[in-house]
A and B are shown apart, each in its own frame.
Chain A
Amino acid sequence: MSRSKAALVGIGELKPTRRTEGESTLGMLARCSALAIADAGLDKDAIDGLLVGPQVGETPQHVPATVSEYLGLAPTMSNLVDLGGASGPGMIWRAAAAIGAGMCETVLCVLGNHRNPEAPRSPNRNPIREFDVPFGASGANVSYALLMQAHMAAYGSRAEDFALVASRARANAQHNPDAIFYGQPASVEDVLASPMIASPLHLFEIVMPVAGAEAVIVTAAKVARERGQKAVHLLGAGEKITHRAVSQAPSLTSGPLKPAMARAFAQSGTAARQMSLLSLYDCYTIMVAATIEDAGLAPPGGFGGFVREQDFGPDGRYPLNTHGGQLGFGQPDLAGGMTHVVEAVRQLRGTAEGRQIRDPKLALVTGNGATMSEAVALVLGADE
């Protein structure tokens, strides 16, 4: 076929059984993936795209990261395809689309499940549940505390500078009446005086969980033009997954956002210093610190200087999370990451009332999942 969109070059299959005893879905996916890569005559390191299915009872969330970590993969495109019996075929075109979009070259599409007799006692039965929780490490706070402690040990970074990140977010929230911390600014001293949750993380350095929702409509640029809609354009994207559990992180001080942002800048022909808005995922203060450094806006370990020089406000050189960030706005669960997209669209349209940045042209939006393990970066541009 001369107009082939993609080629299917390897297959793997496990012999079906009525029942399994003590199997893990992850283990079965691993064995099947090894068969497929061998059939393709490729090395597993050729895989840079991953499409997986839901895994009820073993890995309810963060499925691509958990499978990637188990298989030692670090894909630049991954997704959970949740289409029941259509999931397999659905993966094939998504793989082709992702390859066509320049996000990856070789995609592993894999589905599977065990049929062990016992019902799981807890919704999460994957390695993080087995190898972290029993030692007293439950929840994201511990993971980000470990990342923050590692940053402080590696670079001598100061608690005051991390606290300043939270204080700046609270300050921006004072321009957003919808923010959960509207009317509640916090000084560096306030942040450092808030209760220690998991050292070195203080309460005010952690997002407040809230109820909420966020939505974005995407259409072809041509359609938007025909309708005369004021559009914001996706100019570049990058993605990277490196692990799931913090113990498996390849680095504790730099994350997968670094290559993801590099790809987004390369695709859009832009650079971090050209951005009119930084809309950076901020579940914890350390996440903002690491992202500023990974974006090259400060040298490794140097975020403190950047935070002290920039006030993050709408009138500054680098407006950062003008909606207050999730640290100031609140984190509506998985929609929290979308707040950074929505705010970027507002600013690039020029409709961020009461906090509009001047001359908005470009915005960097970042998303981060699990333990600084799942990363997506977008460069958005205003209508020309």
Chain B
Amino acid sequence: MSELSDLKVPGPTTIALTEPFWAAAEEGRLILQHCRSCDRSVFYPREICPHCWSGGLEWREASGQGRLKSFSRIHRPGHPGWAPVAPYVVGLVELAEGPTMLSHILADEPEVGMPLELAPTRIGGRVLPCFRPQFHHQEEKTIMSDTKPKDGWANVTRGKPSVGDTAERSRKTSMDDIHAFTAMTGDRNPVHYDEELAKKTPFGKLVVQGGITTGILNAVVAEDLPGPGTVFLNTNFNFKKAVGIDETIIGRVELTSVRDDKPICQLACTVTNQDGDVCVEGTAVTYTMPLENL
């Protein structure tokens, strides 16, 4: 059985512009260009943003999360160098940041729609940003192969939480939030500022930026559950109802899975308003960094 690392296959034809992408790949990282003007991510790397033609592109670390849009198991490779590992799988990965890239997929049973995560892999003489199914698709395999499960939650401030744990916190929105968010992001959408105009939209009122609504969930996971050290690895939110000014919102999370070997949780999230209407509903994956004894 041949190994990917032994293949004699063509590598990327790097140019100066794309050099940082492949240098990061060699370190096992995935970076994407991000446009300062239109706030969109760009793949593959370009000299100007294909969405707005701004030259203000900067490199950002990608989450490494994605979804399999399509795949093919290659039985007869187009390049003879790949023959020793055929059949193998390539697929289209819709990255969490928006763009789609083609990649090598390390999956025995790929399925369209399957969540993927970055899996840097040595192919020929270089490390490439390949992808594999996200951990919960691999859970069984991991548990089978771990003879002695290690404590992934050692030195985490609040320790290991349990499936079913919940936490919530609430706050009142204000016009100041809108100004602060604009200062932070440059989002000056008239639906946040022009009251007359906003009244004519389906919202019927001035609304706060979506980031303000979901932002309360950042506070819940970082302050309450799983607690200090927690960052989002992935979020998937559906915006059901707009939130206006001077409304009380309640962010709530419930843990739907907790890993043993790593401080990673899956959560169900909601943000509701004072009337109990669901404004945001979704799921998230968190990683809780150990902050004790650093």
List residues of chain A with CB under 8 Å of any chain B CB: 21-24, 26-28, 30-31, 33-34, 37, 44, 69-72, 121-122, 125, 127, 129-139, 141-142, 145-147, 149-150, 153-154, 195-201, 245-248, 252
- Which chain A residue shows the least CB distance to B73? A199
- Assembled-state Cα–Cα distance A150/B100 (Å): 14
A27 B53 Cβ-Cβ under 8 A: no
B276 at the interface (CB under 8 A from A): no
Residues of chain A with a CB closer than 8 A to B112's CB: 149-150, 153-154
| Further contacts, 12 of them, CB under 8 A, given A34-B55, A136-B88, A150-B69 | A23-B15, A127-B44, A130-B13, A130-B44, A136-B90, A136-B104, A138-B77, A138-B79, A141-B76, A153-B113, A198-B75, A247-B101
Judge if B72 is at the interface, Cβ distance under 8 Å: yes
Min C-beta distance of B8 to chain A, whole Å = 13
With A134-B10, A146-B72, A149-B112 in contact, is A141–B78 under 8 Å at CB? yes
Could you tell me if A131 and B102 are in contact, using CB atoms closer than 8 angstroms? yes
Chain B residues in 8 Å Cβ range of A21:
16
- Per the bound structure, the CA–CA distance linking A194 and B26 in Å amounts to 40
Q: Is B9 an interface residue (CB 8 A)?
A: yes
The size of the chain B interface, using a CB distance under 8 A, is 52
Residues from chain B with Cβ under 8 Å of A31 in the complex:
47-48, 55
Q: Considering the complex, which residues of chain B in the window 1-55 have a beta carbon less than 8 Å from any beta carbon of chain A?
A: 9-19, 43-44, 46-53, 55
Kindly list chain B residues whose C-beta atoms are within 8 Å of the C-beta of A200.
72
Within the complex, the shortest CB–CB distance from B52 to chain A, in Å, comes to 7
* Majority secondary structure of chain A interface residues (helix, strand, loop or mixed): helix
Residue contact B90 to A149, C-beta cutoff 8 Å: no
Known: A24-B15, A27-B47, A252-B92. A135 touches B103 (CB 8 A): yes
The CA of A201 and the CA of B103, in the complex, are separated in Å by 19
B265: Cβ under 8 A from any A Cβ: no
Contact in complex: A131, B44 (CB < 8 Å): yes
For A199, list chain B residues within 8 Å (CB). Answer: 72-75, 87
B70 at the interface (CB under 8 A from A): yes
* Structural contact, B13 and A122, CB atoms closer than 8 A: yes
Across-interface contacts of B48 in A (CB, < 8 A): 30-31, 34, 71
Contact A136 B14, CB 8 Å, known A31-B48, A72-B51, A149-B72: no
Q: A70-B50, A71-B53, A122-B13 are in contact. Are A153 and B70 (CB under 8 A)?
A: yes
Q: Do the beta carbons of B50 and A71 come within 8 Å of each other?
A: yes
With both beta carbons as reference points, the residue of chain A lying nearest to B112 in the complex is identified as: A153
B75 to chain A: which residues have CB within 8 Å?
Answer: 195-199
In the bound complex, residues from chain B placing their C-beta under 8 Å from that of A44 are 52-53
Minimum CB–CB distance from A7 to chain B (whole Å) comes to 22
Judge whether B70 and A132 touch: CB under 8 Å.
no
Give the complex CA separation of A54 and B273 in angstroms: 59
Question: Could you tell me the distance between the alpha carbons of A85 and B9 in the complex, rounded to whole angstroms?
Answer: 38
Residue on A with the closest CB to B17? A27
CA distance A139 to B16 in the complex (A): 26
A260 to chain B, nearest CB (A): 21
- Residue on A with the closest CB to B11? A134
Closest to B101 in A: A247
Query: Contact partner of B16 among A22, A136, A141, A147, CB < 8 A?
Result: A22
Bound Cα distance A197, B43 (Å):
28
Q: Which residues of A contact B49 (CB under 8 A)?
A: 72
Closest-CB distance, A28 to chain B (whole angstroms): 8
Output the least CB separation between B89 and chain A (Å).
9
The answer to whether B79 and A133 have CB atoms under 8 Å apart is yes
- In angstroms, how far is the closest chain A Cβ from the Cβ of B15? 5
- A-contact bits for B65-107, CB 8 A (1 contact / 0 none): 0000111111111110010010110111000000011111000
Distance A137 CA – B112 CA, assembled complex (angstroms): 18
Nearest chain A CB to B119 CB, angstrom units: 12
Structural contact, B12 and A130, CB atoms closer than 8 A:
yes
Which of B53, B87, B90 is in CB contact (< 8 Å) with A137? B90
Which B residue sits closest to A69, measured CB to CB? B50
Is B289 on the interface with A (CB-CB < 8 A)? no
Q: Which of A70, A122, A147, A149 has the most CB of B within 10 A?
A: A149
Asked if B123 CB lies within 8 Å of chain A CBs, one says yes
Let me know if B46 and A139 touch, CB within 8 A: no
A59 and B172 CA atoms in complex are apart in Å by 56
The answer to whether A135 and B104 have CB atoms under 8 Å apart is yes
The CA of A149 and the CA of B70, in the complex, are separated in Å by 6
Return chain B residues, CB-CB under 8 Å to A245. Answer: 102
113-166 of chain B: CB within 8 A of chain A: 113, 123, 126, 128, 130
Alpha-carbon separation in the docked complex, A133 to B17 (Å):
18
Q: Which of A23, A139, A146 is the one whose CB lies under 8 Å from B92?
A: A146
A145 contact set on B, CB distance < 8 A: 72, 74
